[in-house]
Amino acid sequence: MTSLTTDRTQAAVSLMESLPAVNWDDIESAAEVTERIAHRLGDDPELLNTLVERVRYTPELREKCECHALDDKIVIWDDQEKGLRIRLRLANTDQYERVHNHRYSFTAYILSGAYRHTLYATDQPLDETADVERFWPYFVREEPQGRCITLDHEQLHTTITEPETISLMIQSPARKSRAFMIRRADGHVWWRLGAAEESEERRREVRMTDERFEHWIGRLKALGVL
């Protein structure tokens, strides 16, 4: 690394260390703080680039970078004590309607692309006995580039995105051990566990390869995110 790069990295780390502890128990308060953090980072491509480049030689972050069926993710900061895991969500394909909640509350800042965002209500238990016909959309909104949204971990929703929709995500520590998911098209109901509860085999499956990591850095630069 050049001394300029080192200086930039040190400045970026110092800024990240100065971020606050987030009170996720009060979602309105958490939204106010995390949406400003999201803007502070997302509106500064050079800073974001420095943080993403740092992931390459920060093994504890690099090993958290993953590829999933619909999204890839690059984790750029993880401070569980302050309630701050910050990552890029990278939509990798056309999405389908997969109603889900989360293990954590979060703020998403859309840096490129857009979501069609739908919130759902249900009278069903959130387990294998759920009748997928009884999940009703009650709020549908286009979330354009530049929009910030904050969601409680219990909220059922879908975000349908175009490929390469990029979001900066700030998420709370886990609030529960597994997230609930349904696919309305075929009635499939399943769960997503946290990394700590996944098998070694599953961890190997989802870990982002170096090739994929480089692909995303190139695409993020081309999209003007970095």
If the CB atoms of residues 5 and 29 are measured against another protein, the closer one turns out to be 29
| Joined tokens for residue 150 | 């904050």
Shortest spacing between CB 15 and another protein, in angstroms? 6
* End-to-end CA gap in the chain: 18
Tokens of 47: 């800073």
Q: Where does this chain touch another protein (CB under 8 A) — which range of 19-27, 69-77, 114-122, 197-205?
A: 19-27
Tell me if 36 contacts another protein by CB under 8 A: yes
Radius of gyration of the chain (CA): 17
The answer to whether residue 15 forms part of the interface with another protein (CB under 8 A) is yes
Considering only 7, 26, 205, 214, the residue that binds another protein (CB under 8 A) is: 26
In the complex, minimum distance from the CB of residue 66 to another protein, in angstroms, rounded to a whole number: 27
**46 binds another protein per the rule CB under 8 A:** no
**What 3-state class would DSSP assign to 86?**
strand
Q: Which helix (H) or strand (E) holds 210?
A: helix 210-222
Q: At what angle do helices 45-56 and 3-17 cross, to 10 degrees?
A: 100
Cβ atoms 169, 158 nearer than 8 A: no
Contact of 109 with 38, CB cutoff 8 Å? yes
CB of 36 to another protein, least distance (A): 6
Length of the chain in terms of residues written: 226
Q: Is 28 in the site for another protein (CB under 8 A)?
A: yes
Which one of residues 8, 12, 19, 167 is an interface residue with another protein (CB under 8 A)? 19
Q: Which one among 14, 129, 133, 201 touches another protein, defined by CB under 8 A?
A: 14
Selected binder of another protein within 1, 5, 21, 194 (CB under 8 A): 21
**Is 18 among the residues that bind another protein (CB under 8 A)?**
yes
25 binds another protein (CB under 8 A): no
Q: Residue 161: name the closest of 119, 115, 98 by CA.
A: 115
